[in-house]
Amino acid sequence: MRAILQRVSRASVTVAGEVVGQIGPGLMILVCAMQGDDEAKADQLAAKIAKMRIFKDEAGKMNLSLRDTGGAALIVSQFTLAADLRGNRPGFSTAAPPEEGKRLYEYFTARMRDVEGIAVANGIFGADMDVSLNNDGPVTIWVEV
């Protein structure tokens, strides 16, 4: 699985003019299930993200995790993270098929919430979404497991 993490002061996702998910301080997580990914990969990704020390401590150093800060995660499906850029038009054949991508996206979201103890908000899988965020830092990290 692949993810782009952005440390945010706030983030939201809107579908058809309605806010469907929003958070205050925490992480904006764009996530993509790749062909061959399974629950074990989603488990690894959730554990890695929840423990990643990318939030500032009292001294201003990146020493705290999402768990440590009590921050939330806005998780949005993003199949374009599977882009193959060999030509001028990206291909997305390495992304998991939509049904499997949705299943793993939902599994990952539940894992972040139920096992890692992170407050979670979501976009809508497969929808045309308008994502808004204030990147804190800016801190943006690419993760693949």
SS (H, E, C) 51-96: HCCCEECCCCCEEECHHHHCCEEEEEECHHHHCECCCCCCECCCEC
* pLDDT at res. 141: 97
Averaged pLDDT, 67-87: 94
Q: Domain boundaries in the chain?
A: 2-144
Catalytically annotated residues = 78-80
Q: If you classify domain 2-144 with CATH, what class do you get?
A: alpha beta
Report the percent of the chain where pLDDT is more than 70.
Answer: 100
Is the pLDDT at 85 greater than 90? The verdict is: no
Write down the pTM of the prediction: 0.95
Say if CB 8 and CB 142 are below 8 A apart: no
Phi/psi for 64 (5° steps) reads: -110, 145
* pLDDT at res. 86: 85
Phi/psi for 99 (5° steps) reads: -65, -45
The model's pLDDT over 23-71, given as tens digits with 9 standing for 90+, comes to 999 999 999 999 999 999 999 999 999 999 999 999 999 999 999 999 9
Q: First-to-last CA distance in the chain?
A: 6
